[in-house]
Structure 1
Amino acid sequence: MAEQFDEMLDAIAFVGDTLAPFFLEDPKTGGAQASFSAFASLDADAAAREWPFAETASSAPALREMVEGLAEGVTDDLVWEYRALFVGPGHLAAPPWGSVYTDRECVVFGETTLALRAWMREHGVARATDDKTPEDHIGLMLALMSHLCRTQPKSLDDYLCGHLLTWAPHYLEELAVAARHPFYRGLAELTRSTLLGIQDFRGLSVKLPRFYK
Structure 2
Amino acid sequence: MTTPSTEALTGCALALAFLGRSLYFEPDHDFPAGLDNGLLFRDWPLPATDPDTREGLALIAAFFDAHGTDAAPLVRTDFTQLFLGPVAPLAAWESVWTSSEGLLFDESTQAVREAYAHYGLETPDTRREPDDHIGLELAFLAHALLLAASAQADGNARDAMEHIDAARIFLAKHPARWAASFLHRMAQRAATDYYRGIARLCIGTLNHVSDLLDADWHHA
TM-score for the superposition, normalised by structure 2? 0.78
Deviations 1:62-94 (A, max 9, x none): 1121123233334433211101112223311x3
In structure 2, C-alpha distance between the alignment counterparts of 1:35 and 1:87, rounded to whole Å:
24
Deviations 1:29-78 (A, max 9, x none): 2122415236x23675xx4xx65265253322211211232333344332
Larger helix percent: 2
User: 182-191 vs 55-64, which deviates more?
Assistant: 55-64
Tell me which amino acid in the other structure corresponds to 1:135: D
TM-score for the superposition, normalised by structure 1? 0.80
Aligned partner of residue 104 in structure 1, secondary structure: coil
Task: Flag the 1:204–1:43 CA change in 2: closer, same or farther, 3 A.
Answer: closer
Aligned Cα root-mean-square deviation (Å): 2.7
Q: Equivalent residue for 2:55?
A: 61
In structure 2, C-alpha distance between the alignment counterparts of 1:43 and 1:161, rounded to whole Å:
27
1:12 aligns with 2:7: no
Any stretches of 5+ residues in structure 1 without a counterpart?
A: 209-213
1:1-213 equivalences in 2 (<5 Å): 4-27=4-27, 29-37=28-36, 40-41=38-39, 44=42, 47=43, 51-52=45-46, 55-70=49-64, 71-73=67-69, 74-92=71-89, 94-121=90-117, 123-130=118-125, 132-151=128-147, 152-206=163-217
Any stretches of 5+ residues in structure 2 without a counterpart?
A: 148-162
In percent, how many aligned pairs have the same letter? 25
Deviations 1:169-197 (A, max 9, x none): 12111111111211000110110122022
Aligned partner of residue 177 in structure 2, secondary structure: coil
In structure 2, C-alpha distance between the alignment counterparts of 1:43 and 1:143, rounded to whole Å:
19
**Conserved 8 A contact 2:34-2:40:** no
The runs of 4+ residues in structure 1 deviating greater than 4 Å are none
**Conserved 8 A contact 2:187-2:196:** yes
